[in-house]
Amino acid sequence: MKLSVAIPESALSDDSLKIDKTRKISVLARACSIFKIDTIYVYQDGNNKQDGSLLVMILKYLETPQFLRRRLFPKMNDLKFAGVLHPLKIPSHITPANPKKINRGDIREGIVVSIKGKKFVDVGINQLIAFFGKTSIGKRVTVQFKEGHPKFSVKEIDKSEVPAYWGYSIKERANLFSLLIEWKGNIIITSRKGKIVTKEQVSKYTKSDQPTLIVFGSPEKGVHEILGGKMKNVQNAKILNFFPDQATQTIRLEEALLGTLAIINAQRAS
C-alpha cells in the first residue's frame, strides 16, 4: 500500500512564533516517516505563502541525510531554529561513516561533485567515488554499491528500487481541487462530517494495489469549506471521520495526522 498525504500551506497558522512553527513541522515530518508516507503534497489554500515556504523548506531539510545538509541548504532565515528539529532516523539517514563497513549492494544518498572536469559522488565517507550517472553536479542522488571496500564502485538507482523506506518526497500544488482531479488512485478525505471509519473500510484501502491519498484540512477550514461546491466533482473519494465523539472543539493537524495514520497502519499490519 502506497500512502501519500495532502496538507495545506496554512497548516502552521495556529502558531504565531517561527520556533513553534518549526517544532510543528518536525512533528509532521516524524509522523510521515513513522508511517512510511511516499509523498507529502502541500497545497495552497489562501494567503499563507510565507508559512507554505517554511513548511516545504523544513520538510525537505529534515528528509535530507545530515551529512548532505550543509552542501544542499545554505544559511537562511527559514532554518533559524533548525536546532529544535528532531532527526528522522530513517534508513537513508542511518549509514556508517566508516568506509570499511560498506559492502556490495549497500544503498546510500550522495551529492554529485566535479573534480578537474570529472564527476564524483560524495556519500559521506570522506572519500569521493567515480560517478557515471545522469544526475547533474550539485544534485542529490541515490546510489548502490557494485563493489564495496576498498575498490568502491557505484551505480545510480531510482528511489523506487530501494527495498527499505527511503523517505518522503515533497510536491507543491496550486490548489487542492486540481490535485484531487489529477490523482490516479484512492482518496480519503478526513472530516468530522464524514462517516465514522470502520475496519472494513480501512481494509479496502490497505489491500488495494492503487495508491491512496489522505487529505487534511487547515486549522481554520475543513476540506469541505476549502473545496466548496467543487466537492461533488471529486471522484474515488471517501469522506471519513477518524475521531468520532471527539471532546475537543478542534483537532490540530499534527494530531489528526498521527491518529489517522496510526489507525490505517494498525489495519495494514493486521
Note whether 81 and 204 are same-domain residues: yes
8 Å CB contact between 109 and 142: yes
210-241 pLDDT per residue, tens: 999 999 999 889 999 999 888 888 888 999 99
120-129 pLDDT per residue, tens: 999 999 899 9
Alpha carbon distance 1, 63 (integer Å): 21
- Is residue 65's pLDDT more than 90? yes
Range of the domain at 134: 99-161
- To which residue does cell 472543539 refer? 249
Does 61 fall in a domain?
A: yes
Does 187 fall in a domain?
A: yes
What is the SS3 assignment for the chain? CCEEEEEEHHHHCCCCCHHHHHHHHHHHHHHHHHCCCCEEEEECCCCCHHHHHHHHHHHHHHHCCHHHHHHHCCCCHHHCCHHHCCCCCCCCCCCCCCHHHCCCCCEEEEEEEEECCEEEEECCCCCCEECCCCCCCCCEEEEEEEECCCCCEEEECCHHHCCCCCCCEEEEECCHHHHHHHCCCEEEEEEEEEEECCHHHHHHHHCCCCCEEEECCCCCCCHHHHHHHHHHHCCCEEEEECCCCCCCCCCCHHHHHHHHHHHHHHHHHC
- Is residue 47's pLDDT more than 80? no
Q: Which of 258, 184, 181, 189 is nearest to 6 (CA)?
A: 189
Q: What is the dihedral of CA 12, 21, 181, 173, to 10 degrees?
A: 120
- Is residue 166's pLDDT more than 90? yes
Note whether 182 and 241 are same-domain residues: yes
Note whether 178 and 265 are same-domain residues: yes
- Is residue 21's pLDDT more than 80? yes
- Looking at per-residue pLDDT, the higher value among 96 and 159 belongs to 159
pLDDT at 97: 85
8 Å CB contact between 95 and 65: yes
pLDDT (mean) for 187-211: 93
- Is residue 172's pLDDT more than 80? yes
Note whether 13 and 74 are same-domain residues: yes
Does 217 fall in a domain?
A: yes
Does 94 fall in a domain?
A: no
CATH number for 219:
3.40.1280.10
Q: What's the whole-number average pLDDT of the chain?
A: 94
Note whether 81 and 171 are same-domain residues: yes
Note whether 221 and 182 are same-domain residues: yes
Query: Is the full-model pTM beyond 0.85?
Result: yes
pLDDT at 267: 87
- Is residue 108's pLDDT more than 90? yes
Note whether 51 and 157 are same-domain residues: no
- Is residue 242's pLDDT more than 80? yes
Note whether 187 and 147 are same-domain residues: no
Last residue of a domain, one of 134, 161, 188: 161
Note whether 34 and 148 are same-domain residues: no
182: pLDDT confidence band, cut at 50, 70 and 90? very high
pLDDT (mean) for 171-189: 96
Does 229 fall in a domain?
A: yes
183: pLDDT confidence band, cut at 50, 70 and 90? very high
Cis omega (within 30 of 0) for bond into 150: yes
Query: Which grid coordinates belong to 83?
Result: 536546532
- Is residue 70's pLDDT more than 80? yes
- Is residue 259's pLDDT more than 90? yes
